[in-house]
Amino acid sequence: MALGGRGRLPLVRAFELGLLTGLVYLAGTLYWITRVMVTYGGLQTSVAVLVNAALVAYLALFPAAFGVIVRRIVIANGPLAIMAAPLVWVTTELGRTYLLTGFPWVLLGYSQATVLPIAQLASVFGVYGVSMVVAAVSAALAAIALGPQRRDLRIVAPAAVVFAIVVVVAVWGRQRAARADWTRSGDPVRVGLVQGNVEQGVKYDAAHAASIFQDYLRLTRQALDGRAEFVLWPESSTPFMFEENPIEAEQVRALARRAHVPILLGSDQIEWQVTGSRRVPARYFNSAFLVEPDGSTGSVYRKIHLVPFGEYVPLKRVLFFAAPLVEAVSDFSAGDKVELLPIGPHQISTAICYDIVYPNLVRRFVRDGSELLTTITNDAWFGTTSAPYQHFEQASMRAIEEGRYLVRSANTGISGIVDPYGRVLERTAVFQQTVLVGPARFLRTSTFYARHGDVLAYAAAIATLALLVASGRRVQ
């Protein structure tokens, strides 16, 4: 496929190819949203498919924009400009992260989450830096395919540079992970991860509330028997609102006091408003409560990034045909504060479910002093799909970026412990009621990414804009 001269790719065709790429990429990774809306949102399958298709189509506009921008740059500057594709791709990923509250699920860099030598690059440039390397390899292969066709061997030279960079990154990354210096730093802590394995359909059924709660207390005692020094329950783990049910909450507080161990748990929270002589609910939050060793509430974190179609419905008026979903979805409010949680002399952070896929949010925790990353989630919604595995690998990338241990408690799994190099030290299977107790560390070290954030991604965006401007009006 020629990109210049008489055989230049038409603008519409570039858009279509980019859109098709996005549709295949995103429909293949977000297919599970349809199941969630049918099973828990009360939608008919046909309507759920339509809503999911609308989301995928919107997200596919970013790869479509990538295709259009690369076409313009290549036609204006010649075939060699195909090597600008990684800059453009990362720019579109940055847009996907922030536009309209963002949806940065399964960015390209996450494909390397288990390829630890390459994934170490995230400690320098974040997941966007890893995305850039993957996109650069694809661009290099395209350059090689294009070079002989045009009989211009100069286009192969940049491809050779890309492959050399990949080798250097892989060698450096392997050595970095092998040294694992930070696994011998900081203060150790044994964490207990409670996986209640509560089906979403019975989670808020009053008939099951008592047994669910007693299971969590029993599993917590099991974690304490395993010498856990800090226990985590999953997102929305209590079958009641922690602050609104003092009798049940006291059982958790008493358990913390007896063991002198902090317990982090997820529960919904109400912000009340006084109207005249009445107290009425003003806002609802998806929250995490830290119960201190003395039984008091040490701190509360309110989830900042809500799940679209799960905790709120975007564009409710436009999606009028999805009325059952709008009625079924809890209308939560987003938290607006990065809150750290005290564990003795240390400070930790927690990201609730969808929060963890936002790199800059987790970086803000570390910048403010978090020494241990925790994330609590309820992935029961996903069923037996690939979504729990996608979610876990995205969380693992945060450990590499920030140079922190990450511990994850998930209602139905995957719960686990990840070291600062992305190695999974412990993990559970999905859909099992279990307890995992294992080692982590409080760390105060810092990666380049933790200090400087997404400088590479924003530089890519500036470079992309500059290339577009430089292309002038030569492309119509």
- Mind telling me the catalytic residues? 235, 303, 353
Scan for tokens 């003092």, then name that residue.
246
Amino acid letter, 24:
V
Q: Within a 10 A sphere around the Cβ of 354, how many other Cβ atoms?
A: 23
Ranges of beta strands (E only) in 242-385 are 263-275, 278-291, 297-302, 341-343, 346-352, 373-377
Round to whole Å and give the CA distance between 160 and 163: 5
Round to whole Å and give the CA distance between 51 and 171: 44
Question: What DSSP element (H or E) covers 129?
Answer: helix 122-150
Round to whole Å and give the CA distance between 406 and 390: 16
**How many H helices and E strands in the chain?**
14, 12
Which residues are CB-contacts of 359 (< 8 A; sequence separation ≥ 6)?
A: 97, 104, 126, 127, 128, 397, 398, 401, 454
Question: Which pairs from 152-156 meet CB under 8 Å and 24+ separation?
Answer: 152/79, 154/80, 155/79, 155/80, 155/82
295: left (phi over 0), alpha (psi -120 to 50) or beta: left
* Residue from 377, 109, 92 nearest 232 by CA: 377
